[in-house]
């Protein structure tokens, strides 16, 4: 079946450095992608999203890149802070507005002070 | 604006019992979705409601059911609980599915433990 996967389960980054979290997806019909951050004891928190008609979108300290050719998604976090430590999930859906998201397995990001 | 509110936060039940979880979406949000999160399976879609109608359903047995009320609040029910139903149940809401700037916003979940 279709799945969304992550290349690395854990990532440690020095505070102040940039981090990149990667995600591969297999559903070629996917047209909407979202990154979520989940801290311990909390639900996933929306970070940024991107539609398939775009290849890059920027937010505050975050950038999402989409490469549809190789079905790859990445989340870049600039100037990481201790509060960025969390598990990050990518999610996709094959029908924009379809709330049935398929989530990746997650990457645990640890910021080293 | 208050976020998605889920009650209760924690619940302990015994095998064979049933349970009802509650979700209040963000004010103005009309779509409510439910997800199950476990260490082994990750986040999995259960079902989605919009205007009191189930729009989508995931691959879960019929023991899992839900409903949405006219005020957009939602409940999910699990009957004949099994040990494997132990999980974090997450509710998410969005304004109107299919519109721009309407991503899912999640609550902090209900942690269900089945003994």
Among B92, B46, B105, B94, residue whose Cα is nearest residue B54: B46
Among all chains, which residue has been given the structure tokens 């379809």? A98
Residues B11-46: tens digit of each pLDDT: 999 999 999 999 999 999 999 999 999 988 899 999
Q: Decide if B22 contacts B93 (C-beta within 8 A).
A: no
Nearest-angstrom CA–CA distance, B37 and A43: 10
Q: How far apart are the first and last CA of chain B?
A: 37
Mutate to test the interface with B, among A99, A100, A107 (most CBs of B within 10 A): A99
Nearest-angstrom CA–CA distance, A26 and A23: 10
Is it true that the peptide bond before A74 is cis, omega within 30 degrees of 0? no
Q: What pLDDT score was predicted for residue B56?
A: 87
CB contact under 8 A, B106 and A96: no
Q: What pLDDT score was predicted for residue A95?
A: 67
Indicate if the pLDDT at residue A3 is higher than 50.
Answer: no
Nearest-angstrom CA–CA distance, B47 and B57: 4
Chain A positions touching B105 (Cβ under 8 A) are 46
Give the pair of three-digit tokens for residue B60.
């879960």
The pair phi, psi for residue B85, each rounded to 5°, is -80, -5
Name the residue of chain A whose CA is nearest to B93's CA.
A99
Task: Compare CB distances from B56 to A45, A99, A102 and report the shortest one's residue.
Answer: A99
Q: Are strands A32-38 and B64-68 parallel, antiparallel or unpaired?
A: unpaired
Confidence of residue A82 (pLDDT cuts 50, 70, 90): very high
Chain-wide mean pLDDT for chain A? Answer: 89
Indicate if the pLDDT at residue A57 is higher than 70.
Answer: yes
Beta-strand runs (E) in chain A: 4-5, 10-14, 19-25, 32-38, 45-51, 56-58, 62-67, 72-77, 86-93, 102-103, 107-112
Name the residue of chain B whose CA is nearest to A33's CA.
B103
Indicate if the pLDDT at residue A50 is higher than 80.
Answer: yes
């Amino acid at each position: 079946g279709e799945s969304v996967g992550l290349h690395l389960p854990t990532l440690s980054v020095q505070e102040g450095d940039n981090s990149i979290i990667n995600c591969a997806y297999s559903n070629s019909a996917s047209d909407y992608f979202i990154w979520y951050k989940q801290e311990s004891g909390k639900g996933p928190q929306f970070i940024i999203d991107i539609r398939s008609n775009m290849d890059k979108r920027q937010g505050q300290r975050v950038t999402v890149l989409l490469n549809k050719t190789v079905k790859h998604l990445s989340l870049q976090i600039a100037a990481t802070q201790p509060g960025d430590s969390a598990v990050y999930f990518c999610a996709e859906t094959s029908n924009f507005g379809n709330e049935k998201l398929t989530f990746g397995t997650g990457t645990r990001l640890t910021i080293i002070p | 604006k208050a976020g998605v509110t889920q009650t209760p936060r924690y619940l302990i039940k015994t095998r064979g019992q049933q349970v009802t979880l509650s979700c209040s979406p963000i004010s103005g949000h009309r779509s409510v979705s439910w997800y199950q999160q476990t260490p082994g399976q990750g986040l999995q879609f259960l079902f989605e409601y919009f205007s009191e109608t189930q729009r989508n359903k995931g691959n879960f047995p019929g023991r899992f059911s839900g409903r949405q009320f006219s005020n957009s609040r939602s409940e999910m029910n699990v009957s004949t609980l099994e040990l494997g139903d132990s999980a974090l149940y997450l509710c998410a809401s969005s304004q109107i599915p299919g519109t721009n700037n309407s991503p899912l916003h999640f609550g902090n979940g209900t942690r269900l433990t089945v003994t």
